[in-house]
Amino acid sequence: MKVQVKKDAFKIPNLFGYFRIILAVVFAIIYLNADSPTDYYLAAGIIALSGFTDFIDGQIARRFHMITDFGKILDPVADKITQGTIAFCLTTKFPWMIALVILFLIKESYLGIAGLKILKKIDSNEGAKWYGKISTVTLYVITFVLILFPEMPDLPANILIFICMAVMLNAFILYIRLYRRLLT
């Protein structure tokens, strides 16, 4: 098992996962030190590159049969690190993002703990559901817009943040229902 993890750790899709984690750090540095529109555009470009590499790693893994158990863990971890980093950084410009970050942390903590319990009970990973994917896409689209327009007025920014929170809360509730059913 240990040898297999070492071998799987360096498969191309997993290298993209590491790259996305590095991109999250680079994004944070650029965004938190931005002082011109060009800096914000660069930060948005980094997120776009991260999203593109996320798409590509999945395509490569499926097409070339490089799906690994290690990758099934690394990919969502890289996603959550990226999403959390973006949301946290945006709290510096948009105060209501703090509420979104709190909801994100509660949701992801619950899903992580419940997911481990389910894995232990049924020895299977349910994977992301459609409502989780919609929540993720909504988060990326809205945060991308907020990155591109850091001087957006409060009202439209807050409306976008509340939409994102509503979609995230809906996904959270649906996952709670699913996980309770699987755990009983």
Residues 98 and 88: their CA atoms lie apart, in Å, by: 7
79: annotated active-site residue: yes
Q: Which of 54, 57, 75, 79 is catalytic?
A: 79
**How far is C-alpha 148 from the chain's CA centre?**
18
Q: What whole-number distance in Å separates Cα of residue 181 and Cα of residue 184?
A: 5
The two three-digit tokens of residue 159, written as one number: 């409306």
Give me the residue label for tokens 């703090």.
98
One-letter amino acid for residue 184 of the chain: T
Which DSSP helix (H) or strand (E) runs through 80?
helix 69-90
Instruction: List active site positions.
Output: 79
